[in-house]
């Protein structure tokens, strides 16, 4: 595996002033000390090195940059009481300077923050309003060791017109006391006065804190709800969202922040029902471009959308294919996917692996397969089954440059050719790399 290019590849002339005052101690957004062009260059170099190590014949790598700030439509913050006041921040798992990861013996430390420049502005405004309301009613929310506010997740639409909030509470109880219901309703109604974009909120219940704090190891239980259980998220289907203007917010950064506005278009945007806590891509600026690349100019009788989520690609494919089969196992994403009610979109609740084990013995022959697996990648068996199904085109969306090369090599060994390779910078200021590989027979 090629060594990481961060931060060894940074040259003196690549230095920049980080736009966030929490850079370093926060442990996130590791590349803020690089100009954006240098960030993109080094990500492309790292991706090429990983792919070249497989011996694959590589097409030209096509880059899709993003506005470097205010791009996130969702943030999830840690909550902790500091000097009698609830604060929001992150768990820092890195040393100051952000150069080396913490050792296994080190426990993450809570870092209160005062801003988050990569988040859509409304997300931090809502955070501040939430903290103000909680601290104003501290006796109801901060004095009970049996119900401890632990995390706050906020999700907004691309244009910041609607907002959803989830409060994670740690508790050993199976249910919350009745008084929490009235306290929660009061909190939400007060928040809506300060943040009128708020359309719904909920409480998710976590077990009491232990040394195993990783969110991946915890399964929240549903608690109280208020308002709508999700929001309708619109994505233009013809990539017609453009940045028409920019504003400067000196409090966040001297850099211009993008303002998202739609062009006039004859095509209706694709609208997705996204429940609270369901996965959805976070970069509100690049979503139209990603959707267009994966789905535009692709037609046929049958398409498979694997790891489909709430149907980001399925809905657009349904306008281009006679039949779309969308596969998803996770809740609440599957419920949202199944609620699309498009007559030619068939939602299947199962794992991709189990679906393919059956599909490989069937008579259906898809013209296109789209897959967007988790960070662990598709894996050898899924790739082997894809090869046996033998669709003319595969579009592989990946969030893991570590797993992707192995999967591509497996598919190439079965006869697929890597026709296109795209790097979508969905996470500026960080080392995360998102790619789209187009493979053909």
Q: Is the domain 74-230 a CATH 3.40.1110.10 member? A: no
Query: 3-state class of 295 per DSSP?
Result: helix
CA distance 436 to 214: 28
Preceding omega of 5 cis (within 30 degrees of 0): no
- Looking at 3.10.105.10, 3.40.50.300, 3.40.50.2300, 3.40.50.150, the CATH number of the domain 1-66+286-441 comes to 3.40.50.150
Q: Is 89 exposed, middle or buried (0-12, 13-18, 19+ CB in 10 A)?
A: buried
Q: At what angle do helices 380-389 and 404-413 cross, to 10 degrees?
A: 40
Q: Which residue has the tokens 């991709």?
A: 352
pLDDT of residue 9: 46
- Cα–Cα separations (whole angstroms), residue 134 to 79, 218, 226: 11, 25, 16
SS3 127: helix
pLDDT in tens, the chain (441 residues): 333 344 444 455 578 899 999 998 988 899 999 999 999 999 999 999 999 999 999 999 999 999 999 999 999 999 999 999 999 999 875 544 333 444 445 567 899 999 999 999 999 999 999 999 999 988 889 888 889 999 999 999 999 999 999 999 999 888 888 888 899 999 999 999 999 999 999 999 999 876 655 555 678 899 999 999 999 999 976 544 433 333 344 433 444 444 444 444 445 678 999 999 899 999 999 999 999 999 999 999 999 999 999 999 999 999 999 999 999 999 999 999 999 889 999 999 999 999 999 999 988 899 999 999 999 999 999 999 999 999 999 999 999 999 999 999 999 999 999 999 999 999 999 999 999 999 999
The pLDDT, as a whole number, for residue 239 is 46
pLDDT the model gives residue 245 = 35
Other beta carbons within 10 Å of 121:
18
Tokens read off for 428: 């500026």
Sequence ranges of the domains in the chain: 1-66+286-441, 74-230
Q: What is the pLDDT of residue 16?
A: 84
CA–CA dist 237, 362 (Å, integer): 32
Residue 358 has what pLDDT? 97
Strands (E), 268-404: 270-275, 300-306, 321-328, 345-349, 368-371, 393-398
pTM for the structure as a whole: 0.87
CB 400 within 8 A of CB 372: no
């Amino acid at each position: 595996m090629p060594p990481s290019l961060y931060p060894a590849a940074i040259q003196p002339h690549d230095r920049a002033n980080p736009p966030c005052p929490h850079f370093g101690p926060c442990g996130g957004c590791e590349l803020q000390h690089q100009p954006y062009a240098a960030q993109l260059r080094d990500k492309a170099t790292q991706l090429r090195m990983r792919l070249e190590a497989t011996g694959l014949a590589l097409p030209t790598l096509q880059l899709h940059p993003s506005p470097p700030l205010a791009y996130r439509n969702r943030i999830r913050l840690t909550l902790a009481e500091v000097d009698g006041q609830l604060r929001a921040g992150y768990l820092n798992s890195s040393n100051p300077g952000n150069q080396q990861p913490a050792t296994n013996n080190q426990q993450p430390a809570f870092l209160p923050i005062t801003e988050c420049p990569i988040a859509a502005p409304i997300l931090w405004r809502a955070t501040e309003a939430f903290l103000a309301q909680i601290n104003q009613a501290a006796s109801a929310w901060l004095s009970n060791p049996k119900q401890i506010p632990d995390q706050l997740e906020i999700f907004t639409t691309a244009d910041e017109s609607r907002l959803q909030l989830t409060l994670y509470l740690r508790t050993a109880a199976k249910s919350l006391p009745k008084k929490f219901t009235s306290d929660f309703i009061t909190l939400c109604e007060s928040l809506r006065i300060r943040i009128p974009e708020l359309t719904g909120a909920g409480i998710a219940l976590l077990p009491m804190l232990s040394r195993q704090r990783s969110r991946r190891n915890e399964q929240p239980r549903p608690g109280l709800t208020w308002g709508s259980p999700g929001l309708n998220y619109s994505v233009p289907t013809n990539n017609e969202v453009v940045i028409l203007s920019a504003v400067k917010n000196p409090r966040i950064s001297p850099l211009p922040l993008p303002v998202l506005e739609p062009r006039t278009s004859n095509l209706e945007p694709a609208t997705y029902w996204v429940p609270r806590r369901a996965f959805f891509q976070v970069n509100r600026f690049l979503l139209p471009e990603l959707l267009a690349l994966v789905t535009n100019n692709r037609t046929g009788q049958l398409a498979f959308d694997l790891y489909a989520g709430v149907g980001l690609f399925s809905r657009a494919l349904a306008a281009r294919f006679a039949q779309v089969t969308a596969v998803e196992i996770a809740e609440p994403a599957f419920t949202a996917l199944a609620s699309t009610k498009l007559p030619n979109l068939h939602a299947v609740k199962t794992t991709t692996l189990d679906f393919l084990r059956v599909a490989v013995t069937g008579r259906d022959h898809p013209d296109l397969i789209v897959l967007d697996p988790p960070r662990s990648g598709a894996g050898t068996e899924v790739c082997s089954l894809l090869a046996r199904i033998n669709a003319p085109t595969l579009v592989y969306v990946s969030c893991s440059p570590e797993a992707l090369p192995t999967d591509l090599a497996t598919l190439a060994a079965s006869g697929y050719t890597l026709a296109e390779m795209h790097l979508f910078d969905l996470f500026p200021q960080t080392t995360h790399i998102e790619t789209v590989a187009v493979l053909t027979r």
